[in-house]
Amino acid sequence: MQSRRILEISVESVEAAVAAERGGAQRIELCSDARVGGTTPGRGLLRAVRERVRLPIFSMVRPRGGNFIYAEAEFEAMRGDVETAQKTGMDGIVLGVLLANGEVDIERTKELVELARPLPLTFHRAFDECADLRKSLEDVIETGAARLLTSGGKRTAPEALGVLSELVRIAGERIVVMPGSGIHAGNIREVMKKTGAREFHAGLSSVVSKPADEPGAFEDEVRKLAVALRDCD
């Protein structure tokens, strides 16, 4: 497993993706409708960002906002979206599927992991809705996902540093545990030191509300975050 620190920035426009790359991000998570936690970006947006950005791009696959319990038609749409991401040059997939009892849907997630290959799959913050995070970590590992994006069951990652530290420790080399939500230049050092994580996810919505309309300000915040992470001891 790689040892260098990775900064993943979540964006929903070409302008924000370009700004994130210029600011020093190492990876892009591309989605639509960030206000509902992100949904699958359209084929046109996938292609447009791929044409403008050299960084690895991970595409969100989520057919709608709301819960993560999907009907068969929605799951079939997710299968199609995984294939679209592959065909448009994406470098990874981001998704999460739960059962009605709130646990990880291991069977369906495994199916999507296999469909996505050779692209790596990130199980996203659907995980944070699970009641038993330690058991759910083992479930996510069983699916074959490459990484787990989580805020430790809280609204933001800085509110759950102890839980995140434990998840990182339990995961070991089996899966990348990537803290996300509420991370910015002012707290990234504490998040890194107290969790021991090597990859971090940020959307920076708390400091720049409209990245597409303020790409310069967004780029500056990404740069501050990237510099702060690089300077961590």
CATH fold, domain 6-230, is TIM Barrel (3.20.20)
- The whole-angstrom distance between residue 97's C-alpha and the CA centroid of its chain comes to 14
Give first-to-last CA distance, the chain, whole Å: 20
Backbone dihedral region of 196: left (phi > 0), alpha (psi from -120 to 50 degrees) or beta? Answer: left
| pTM for the structure as a whole | 0.95
Residue 3 pLDDT: 52
149 has which bridge partners?
Answer: 178
Reduce the DSSP state of residue 108 to 3 states and report it.
helix
- As given in the structure block, the two tokens for residue 159 are 């509110």
- As given in the structure block, the two tokens for residue 119 are 């692209």
Q: Could you tell me the sign of the dihedral formed by the alpha carbons of 175, 3, 88, 24, in that order?
A: positive
47: enclosing H helix or E strand: helix 43-52
Are 167 and 191 contacting, i.e. CB atoms less than 8 angstroms apart? no
Longest dimension (CA), the chain: 48
pLDDT per residue, tens digit, the chain (233 aa), is 345 899 999 999 999 999 999 999 999 999 999 888 899 999 999 999 999 999 999 999 999 999 999 999 999 999 999 999 999 999 999 999 999 999 999 999 999 999 999 999 999 999 999 999 999 999 999 999 999 999 999 999 999 999 999 999 999 999 999 999 999 999 999 999 999 999 999 999 888 878 877 889 999 999 999 999 988 75
Residue 233 pLDDT: 57
